[in-house]
Structure 1
Amino acid sequence: MDKDKVKYSPYTSPTGGWGSVNSLVKNSIGQRAIGTVPGLMKDHNKAGGYMCTSCAWAKPGKPHLAEFCENGAKATFWDLTAKRTTPEFFKQHTLTELLGWADYDLENEGRLTHPMRYDAASDTYVEVSWSDAFADIGRKLRSYEPETVVFYASGRASLETSYMYQLLARLYGNNNLPDSSNMCHETTSVALPQSIGTPVGTILLEDYQHTDCILSFGQNVGTNAPRLLHSLQEVRERGAPVIVFNPLKERGWQSFVNPQRPGQMITNKATDIATQYHQVSAGGDIAVMMGMAKCLFLWDDQAKANGGTRVLDVPFIEEHTHGFEAFEAQVRAAQWEEILAISGLEKTAIEAATQTYAQAKAVIAIYGMGLTQHRLGVSNVQMLVNLMLMRGNIGRQGAGICPVRGHSNVQGQRTVGIAEKTALVPLDRLAAQYGFEPPRNDGLNTVEACEAIIRGDVKAFVSLGGNFVRAIPERELMEEKWRGLDLSVQIATKLNRSHLIAAKTTYLLPTLVRSEIDEQASGPQIVSMEDSTTCIHASRGKYQPASPALLSEPRIVAEIAKTALDHNPNVPWEAWVENYARIRDAIEQTFPEQFSGYNARLDTPGGFPRPVPARHRQWETDTGKANFKLVKSLCASFAAGSGPDVLRLITLRSNDQFNTTVYGYDDRLRGIHNSRMIVMMNPGDRERAGIKKNGLARITTAVDDGIVRTLSGLEVIDYDIPAGSCAAYFPECNGLIPLWQYAEDSKTPAAKSVPVRVVPA
């Protein structure tokens, strides 16, 4: 829990540098993991070593001396901590008591060491043998109708485990395979295929060496993908501009001292990253991009009239795109008054950004959940693609679209079949390969799984990692309904809140982390994962497991399958676990276009890229071309007119956090210390709300659906944020997000613009 009153002082030091080094020293000592530092230097994100369990950013073929960032090192210390959560711990603490603990305190107890089963009589977890756990789980799964069981996956499981897991679900009889992508980048997976025929980005890491301009929307590089700062620093040193659109001014986009460069560390002379920084209002990105498109059309008109060089890439548009005329009509009809009101920017700012963009020959567009987690998130992403298509900035060297994914293999899980949508999975190939008839109906995504749990339609929930109950919207109602589940199976490394919301039968199944040696019958095993640029990397554990009782994720999935399913001679669960190379052979057989030569290419420096047709201007869309898509509105957020006192709440992560994992109470890069119970407000909004400076506030969701959603006791910080927007931490604020507040078409929770009222506490 919070130890002291919140302290706030704007952080003026660079990202990286000594602040990052000091944070790593603090965290390594706190987890009693300082002995892992030499391994970080030698093995982290390097060929022959292990891949980071934190973010999914690309790993270079020629790695830096230390190929890790502050958050990646924290994740490793967190995984390799000397602390242990043993059966003795659970004897001493009831679940009722533990529910009062903060997220940080729960995980800070250390690694789970033994399989546990919830005992309702004592309200504690008690130790259980692996064989008894698997037998009971299998027996119960056999008793349910297949459609009443959900198989959830977080983004850290390997490609090998993920493939086995999706096969388990389909052999069981459903496609109920929601995953953490549903909560963050499902919008990308819906928007990009319609626009350019691929659900993933088009750039490779090497494109950063050839780009001459970066556009970024809704992405906090300093916290979410710090290793990207190396490429951005090199871009800036070549003189290429970096234009950033984000409501908050994040230090990662402003200033960076590279810990890999002794000269910079000695002098503390930072590299300025953003050459332009525009603080767009929450939900105002479509309006910004519409304004930029209007400028391009105007300047192209002028060039055409004067006989000058065209601003638009007319040959590309004519040969490679569809829908340009309708898009042009929509842009020309848009009114500047509305654009400026919704974006929160001055026209001169939009013109300055557009001029820089128009002068660049090869542009990379980076974006994150600041685009995807809005009501019109799909339009957000597609409008950015439209902007890139206008100047031919997709499908050539140094140019392309770059969604920055979160978890280290969340993109890869979808590649090998973790998908509730049957159109994304080669079911006929699976049927032939394994001799069964896969279910053909779409399964449940994350929001739909929550809706089904609330209705009482779900009997069992199997979770391959993650902290599902803490990560989802509508937390209070979901926790209440979760207790009505008959079975909850939690495959995990540490204790979290989802484990404390007990179903009638709940199991905790502890597993290895990626950096630990995974010893099977054929020897130490290799796993693999996919990064944000579609490159596949091998990972070899280097550390002894936290407990001899731990099992690997493939072993746990296989044992559940063997007890829950009838024997299928075509599915060699045991042989797969003996040697994971056999799983990769099976993956290649199912996805030959994506994984040709899988085992042979596993140690390719920098990983081997999956084919992405749009990289080569091959458009696998309904028209056979890249599609200009019309947007539904200039505002990606909820409709205006909700009242002058209604703000748009942006939920965000701190510097001491990765997704729901909280490493501490300091958000160093924002200058906030000792507490996560804060709300950042524009001073004018705070004064209008009648809240004293540094006073306490209560946030209430401003919707009328019969449910009261409120959070009290937050200290208000005057912050540099656009009027009408406020910000507070995820997952603490998840209870404020209605389950039905999601992106149209993708059902990604719209957590970046929640309608709220902030009043004195």
Structure 2
Amino acid sequence: MKQNTPPEELTGKLEVDKPYDEAAGLPAIAASFKYVLRGTGPARGWKALVNMNQKDGFDCPSCAWPDPDGHRSNIAEYCESGAKAVADEVMTNHTASPVLFQRYSVDELIKKPDLWLGQQGRLTQPMILKPGATHYVPIDWSDAFQLIADQLHALDSPDEAIFYTSGRTSNEAAFVYQLFVRMFGTNNMPDCSNMCHESTSVALADSLGLGKASVKYEDYEKADVIMIMGQNPGTNAPRMLTPLETAKRNGAKIISVNPLHETGLLKFKDPQSPRDMLFGGEKMTDVFLQIPINSDMALLKAMCKLLLEEEKKSATAGQSGKVLDQKFIQQYTSGYHEFVKSLDQFELNELAAQCGQTVAQIQEAVDLFKYTPKLVICWAMGLTQHRNAVETINEIINVLLLKGSIGIEGGGASPIRGHSNVQGDRTMGVWEKPKPEFLDALKRVFNFEPPRKDGFDTVKSVKAMHEGKAKVFFGLGGNFAMAVSDTNYTAEALRKCKLTVHVSTKLNRSHLIHGETALILPCLGRTDRDKQATGEQFVSCESTTGVVAQSHGVVDPVVNTLKSEVAILCELAKRVVSTVPVNKDSTVTIPGQDGHHYINWDALVANYDLIRDMVEKVVPGFNNYNQMVRRPGGFYIPNGPRDRKFKTTDGKAHFTINTPTHHKLETGELLLMTIRSHDQFNTTVYGNNDRYRGIHNERRVVFMHPDDIANLGLQEKQVVDLHSRYDGQLRTAHRFIVVSYDIPRGCTAAYFPETNVLVPISSIAEKSHTPISKSIVITVTRAADR
């Protein structure tokens, strides 16, 4: 049987040092340049770095952190993570050419570690794995497109196809993609949001009427208090540390809530600040609440109770409204009285015990923001990947609504998203549950009837493939097989497909877990110049704060055989949906012999302005798109909550009633959360080090409290197996090394995606269907002999 999961061999080189107490500084500079220079020449690498995140440059292909609205550094408007991502794209020392696939069979490649696969460099030619073959071989672009078209046309229903999207896809490619897929006849458009911030989108849409952040970049610097929950900015969004440092020097206080002491939340030394480099960085956290995994809601609910008590004290002193913004609550919210009444069922001491804190510790945090509405609360996947994730995020909104912190300068809700354009993809219509008004706009503009039935999200897509209900998988970027939970089940699902297709820049494990026939289509990256018939093109992306800005490549592609995502999608659409008539004046069209007009897909490839003209007619907030996006720094799209306009059922922001989850573990059980190392971004592994946590030369480690290690009869650096049992089925992640770490008792942590095998496909968050990767009940045993 073919191996489904990454190789389980240990490197045998693990070194454990004391975790860092300061982020960035000279080590970050050294690491950035070392990685760039290792993969490419200094001139090419430097040209890419100095143009990254500049107003006339390209958008970082890593995280979705927003760029400063005003001044940007001319030297380094990027972080270590971004430098690694760019080095991966511009590297020229190695290419994954047909020679690589001739040298290694698929069975040989799948035995290689993910790090090795990524180090083979940029893909250069379309490749095909034919039924029964052992090796990928080159295929002509035209033949590849025709093969996909034939397979799609052979399906009994368009719903037998899955069209997945990674967050790196541009606005232009995303719009063309969803238009093509809906003209084909399905809403099966899962994307990486389903696996990360879908809980955020659901919660914010329910409570505020928009599933996006309500803050702008400048709000971080103007806040009085910033509370950071379930997030590790030093590794996952390092550029966030710059406005946090500015906020601190402006007098802001920072509350950090996390099971782990993350380096970026302790101290930050800005590599571009002479002051920091000479005199040391800025202490970041004022109050650190080290809570057990998934006890965030208990903490938030305790904060709400304390705020109400403080308001009662103020009212008794004749200062009603000093703590709670009563005017905001009365004018802009609903459900307040029901929410307040619901708090009576919870005892403050019990809530404090659930989140591992004393009432005094929680009070210390509340005291920082009880008299100011300028409160920003940030969160990431430490909150979104639990069964009760949507309710926990709604509890964040409860806190902000009590304070009147929505729609003001220096306050608001701030989800920190991962992929650089994951939010833009959703804005462009990449969604399995499109809103009726979006579909109505497509019908009005193009005069075709888009499908109305909800499509498959990521989890439902995997189940559909596994059950034989979906037969073609098309992946626009990403590493689907490794990103999804239940690794073996997902692999089995992909292998049941008739055809799997991946549009990619580099080799990854998903190319090796394939259907009966498999295609790899190499595409341009964010850094590559995109030259089409009318000249060099640019694309646009949306940041986590809702800024849409242009992005254009600055280096020549490593080979001239690559195609842009737009070109790939338009050529495929031309072969699959060329017979779907549209309005003559809806977009650029060509007349057919039957008297109807059809989309001129070739014209869209030649000039991306034409795509943006189409977007303008369909997506609200994109008026004068081509003019607005050419402004230096781009433009903010409309955001109702920022203006205290809530597109909910009653036009108001909603208080919600939520119940904390208390994990009751049996003897010998622990609660595991997945984390990322400092040498990875999502599923992309750049190295085997986690510098900030003191881990070197190894990824298969499990962080445990010293008391838990002793109670289980284990030892430091012992090799163990991790087990989960759901619905009577035992799952095992083999061969991890025990590392003693400062983590709450009963809690453990290990790296993603190696531990995805422990999460069953049916283990999902309520309402959002996000895989539960942050609260996995496990047992730990000595590793079995292999």
| TM range, smaller chain | over 0.9
Query: Could you tell me how far apart the structure 1 residues matched to 2:630 and 2:222 are?
Result: 25
Q: Secondary structure at the match of 2:678?
A: coil
Q: How far has the Cα of 1:11 moved from its partner? A: 2.4
User: 1:662 is aligned with what amino acid?
Assistant: V
Q: Which residue of 1 aligns with 2:448?
A: 436
Q: Which residue of 2 aligns with 1:605?
A: 632
Q: Which residue of 1 aligns with 2:670?
A: 647
Q: Which residue of 1 aligns with 2:141?
A: 130
CA deviation string 1:176-218 (max 9, x = no partner):
0000000001111110011111110110101123211101111
Alignment of 1:188 onto 2:197: no
Query: Could you tell me how far apart the structure 2 residues matched to 1:196 and 1:373 are?
Result: 21
CA deviation string 1:45-95 (max 9, x = no partner):
012111110000101132123100110011000111111000011011011
Q: Secondary structure at the match of 1:124?
A: coil
Q: Which moved more, 1:476-485 or 1:153-162?
A: 476-485
1:494-643 to 2 correspondences below 5 Å: 494-568=506-580, 569-591=597-619, 593-631=620-658, 633-635=659-661, 640-643=663-666
Aligned length: 754
User: 2:372 is aligned with what amino acid?
Assistant: A
Q: Which residue of 1 aligns with 2:752?
A: 730
Q: Secondary structure at the match of 2:539?
A: strand
Query: Could you tell me how far apart the structure 2 residues matched to 1:660 and 1:425 are?
Result: 34
Which residue, out of 661, 683, 703, partners 1:660?
683
CA contact (8 A) 2:48 2:554 kept: no
Query: Could you tell me how far apart the structure 2 residues matched to 1:33 and 1:597 are?
Result: 40
Query: Could you tell me how far apart the structure 2 residues matched to 1:258 and 1:181 are?
Result: 31
CA deviation string 1:462-487 (max 9, x = no partner):
00001001110111122123211001
Q: Secondary structure at the match of 1:708?
A: strand
CA contact (8 A) 2:215 2:412 kept: yes
Which residue, out of 481, 485, 493, partners 1:469?
481
Alignment of 1:273 onto 2:287: no
User: 1:126 is aligned with what amino acid?
Assistant: V
1:400-479 to 2 correspondences below 5 Å: 400-423=412-435, 426-479=438-491
Q: How far has the Cα of 1:5 moved from its partner? A: 2.2
Query: Could you tell me how far apart the structure 2 residues matched to 1:247 and 1:166 are?
Result: 39
Query: Could you tell me how far apart the structure 1 residues matched to 2:158 and 2:376 are?
Result: 44
User: 1:600 is aligned with what amino acid?
Assistant: Q
CA deviation string 1:406-437 (max 9, x = no partner):
00000000001001103266111111222211
Q: How far has the Cα of 1:349 moved from its partner? A: 1.1
User: 1:43 is aligned with what amino acid?
Assistant: N
CA deviation string 1:516-547 (max 9, x = no partner):
00000010001000000000010111111121
Alignment of 1:64 onto 2:73: yes
User: 1:405 is aligned with what amino acid?
Assistant: R
Query: Could you tell me how far apart the structure 2 residues matched to 1:315 and 1:263 are?
Result: 43
CA contact (8 A) 1:142 1:565 kept: no
Q: Secondary structure at the match of 1:559?
A: helix
Q: Secondary structure at the match of 2:734?
A: strand
Query: Could you tell me how far apart the structure 2 residues matched to 1:641 and 1:273 are?
Result: 33
Alignment of 1:684 onto 2:707: yes
Which residue, out of 84, 104, 107, partners 1:74?
84
CA contact (8 A) 2:202 2:211 kept: yes
Q: Which residue of 2 aligns with 1:756?
A: 778
Which residue, out of 16, 22, 29, partners 1:8?
16
Alignment of 1:300 onto 2:311: yes
Alignment of 1:29 onto 2:37: yes
CA deviation string 1:295-318 (max 9, x = no partner):
111111122122235311111111
Query: Could you tell me how far apart the structure 2 residues matched to 1:190 and 1:424 are?
Result: 16
1:231-246 to 2 correspondences below 5 Å: 231-246=243-258
CA deviation string 1:678-718 (max 9, x = no partner):
00011111111111122111110132x24321012100100
CA contact (8 A) 1:419 1:425 kept: no
CA contact (8 A) 2:167 2:422 kept: yes
Q: How far has the Cα of 1:642 moved from its partner? A: 4.1
CA contact (8 A) 2:503 2:520 kept: yes
Query: Could you tell me how far apart the structure 2 residues matched to 1:307 and 1:289 are?
Result: 27
User: 1:722 is aligned with what amino acid?
Assistant: P
CA contact (8 A) 1:422 1:441 kept: no
Alignment of 1:163 onto 2:175: yes
Query: Could you tell me how far apart the structure 1 residues matched to 2:632 and 2:73 are?
Result: 13
Q: How far has the Cα of 1:346 moved from its partner? A: 1.7
Q: Secondary structure at the match of 2:749?
A: strand
Q: How far has the Cα of 1:342 moved from its partner? A: 1.9
Gap runs ≥5 in structure 2: 1-8, 581-596
User: 2:525 is aligned with what amino acid?
Assistant: V
CA contact (8 A) 1:47 1:603 kept: no
CA contact (8 A) 2:616 2:625 kept: yes
Q: Secondary structure at the match of 1:244?
A: strand
| Identity in percent | 38
CA deviation string 1:527-571 (max 9, x = no partner):
000000000010111111121110010000011111122434342
User: 2:608 is aligned with what amino acid?
Assistant: Y
Gap runs ≥5 in structure 1: none
Q: Secondary structure at the match of 1:426?
A: helix
Q: Secondary structure at the match of 2:64?
A: coil
Q: Which residue of 2 aligns with 1:105?
A: 116
Q: Which residue of 1 aligns with 2:762?
A: 740
CA contact (8 A) 2:21 2:266 kept: no
Q: Secondary structure at the match of 2:730?
A: coil
Q: Secondary structure at the match of 1:709?
A: strand
Query: Could you tell me how far apart the structure 2 residues matched to 1:359 and 1:62 are?
Result: 32
Which residue, out of 681, 685, 698, partners 2:721?
698
Q: Secondary structure at the match of 2:152?
A: helix
Q: How far has the Cα of 1:596 moved from its partner? A: 1.1
Question: How does the TM-score come out when normalised to structure 2?
Answer: 0.94
Q: Which residue of 2 aligns with 1:366?
A: 378
CA contact (8 A) 2:48 2:527 kept: no
Q: Which residue of 2 aligns with 1:173?
A: 185
CA deviation string 1:155-192 (max 9, x = no partner):
00100000011011101110000000000011111100
CA contact (8 A) 1:254 1:272 kept: yes
Q: How far has the Cα of 1:489 moved from its partner? A: 0.8
Which residue, out of 687, 691, 696, partners 1:673?
696
Q: Secondary structure at the match of 1:473?
A: coil
CA contact (8 A) 1:33 1:77 kept: no
CA deviation string 1:492-516 (max 9, x = no partner):
0011100001211110000000110
Cα gap change, 1:384 to 1:142, in 2 (>3 Å):
same
CA contact (8 A) 1:689 1:760 kept: no
